[in-house]
Amino acid sequence: MPAYEYRAKSRTGELSTGVLDADNERVAVAKLQGQGLFPLSVRASAAKAPARGAEAASVTRLTIRTRRISPADVTVFTRQMADLLGGGLSLGRALSVMRRQIENEAFAEVVGKLADDVQGGSTFAAALAKYPRLFPELFIGMIKTGEMAGTLELSLERLAEFMDSDQELRGQVKSAMTYPAIMAVVGTATIIVLLTFVIPRFAVMFEDVGRALPLPTRILTGLSRFLAGWGGLAVVAVVVASVVWLRRRIGTEDGRMWFDGLKLRLPVFGTLVRRLVIARFARTLGVLLKNGVPILPALAMSREMVGNSVLARELSGVQDNVRDGRSLAGPLSKSSVFPPMVTDMVATGEEAGRLEEALLRVADSYDREVSRTLRSLVSLIEPAMILIMGSIVFFVVIAMLLPVFEMSALIGA
């Protein structure tokens, strides 16, 4: 593990210097703060030894294995840690108990390393910072605040509640979109099979008749020939190229801004996306403020958590205004994302000195709006999908039956 030389002051103003081991400079600073010191300078030690091959390989292996750990696992861990600390167990003892109880081997290994770090003198926040994929900045910030204030159990409880609410909202969106997505995939696959395998056989039979086919039949057989030949490959190539282009475009900052702005401007889905990002921002900021995190760091963490670059850019401007001494409601009211209802509730909360409660009420309100919007969308999407698929099938059936009717009429004549 790398070594870092530091200069720091104690709470009494005494200067201290030394060397400590940490994964990176950020972890070193967190360790010093956990010891009640105020870092003046932290730099890599010139005498630090390179990581041994076995240790580096172990770290790489564990990093890969953490991909098997789901957000639900982290939420359960957070909830159970709060219960254990509430039951009177020390932090190190609680982590050791959790290591034995967790069934996920990769997560048990992570918790074991957390226990070792804490028992070795590290703060909980510094130990968690080694696993940013599992514990984001929001998580670490609240834990750090809880450790400094002596309210770690309460911080864990609020984190668990926040993650439960966030996962429930995500679950509602996924479950609402699952049925329409399945219908679209099955319907598209059925149409492709009809056009590429079934209809060509009927087209040969119709051509043997020697008469001009009805217009719907000509359209259908022409489309079938197009997809069965090079046209089908061309369509696949265009789709793949479009997906690759879109992924690369979104990978750039300008492209991400364009795509996130497009999502907010969509006629129906834009309203849903807007409510989702507002609910997430309000809940994140409210939970952080309620846990004692100062407003500027809380805004910075909330900006990283919203998941929309357009809103993140606007929140950056809001953060600058708050840093200059302005209120939160004023800059929010100038934003194109936040409606007047949100800014009015924030202004009321600021005036009453209960900003965090106002933000959490906004989050609860928008969570309910998201649920209602999802139900409305599903109730509209399902009949629309049925109507579209039914219309396509009806066209195929008519195009197939018209030549049959004509041949029957000729035979009858």
Separation of alpha carbons 406 and 164, rounded Å = 63
**Please, where are the H alpha helices in 91-214?**
91-101, 105-119, 124-128, 137-149, 152-193, 199-207
The DSSP secondary structure of 275-344, one letter per residue, reads HHHHHHHHHHHHHHHHTT--HHHHHHHHHHHS--HHHHHHHHHHHHHHHTT--SHHHHHT-SSS-HHHHH
Task: For domain 154-413, give the CATH number.
Answer: 1.20.81.30
- Give the 3-state secondary structure of residue 18: strand
Mean pLDDT of 223-232: 78
Query: DSSP letter at 49?
Result: P
- Give the 3-state secondary structure of residue 69: coil
Q: How confident is the model at residue 314 (pLDDT cuts 50, 70, 90)?
A: confident
- Tell me: the pLDDT tens digits for 238-247? 989 999 998 8
Separation of alpha carbons 134 and 114, rounded Å = 12
- Tell me: the pLDDT tens digits for 139-158? 888 888 888 777 888 888 88
Is this prediction's pTM over 0.85? no
Who contacts 319 (Cβ-Cβ below 8 Å, separation ≥6)? 296, 299, 300, 303
Mean pLDDT of 175-180: 78
Separation of alpha carbons 365 and 342, rounded Å = 10
Architecture of the domain spanning 1-50: Roll (3.10)
| Domain residue ranges of the chain, discontinuous segments joined by + | 1-50, 154-413
- Tell me: the pLDDT tens digits for 52-64? 444 444 444 444 4
Who contacts 96 (Cβ-Cβ below 8 Å, separation ≥6)? 115
Mean pLDDT of 276-282: 87
Q: Does residue 132 carry a pLDDT above 70?
A: yes
How distant is the alpha carbon of residue 210 from its chain centre? Answer: 59
Spatial CA neighbour of 139 closest among 291, 319, 322, 361: 291
Are 337 and 177 a contacting pair, CB within 8 Å?
no
For the chain, how far is it from start to end, CA to CA, in angstroms? 94
Are 225 and 196 a contacting pair, CB within 8 Å?
no
| Mean of the per-residue pLDDT values of the chain | 80
CA atoms within 13 A on the CB side of 232: 12
Torsion of CA 209, 214, 219, 220, to 10 degrees: -60
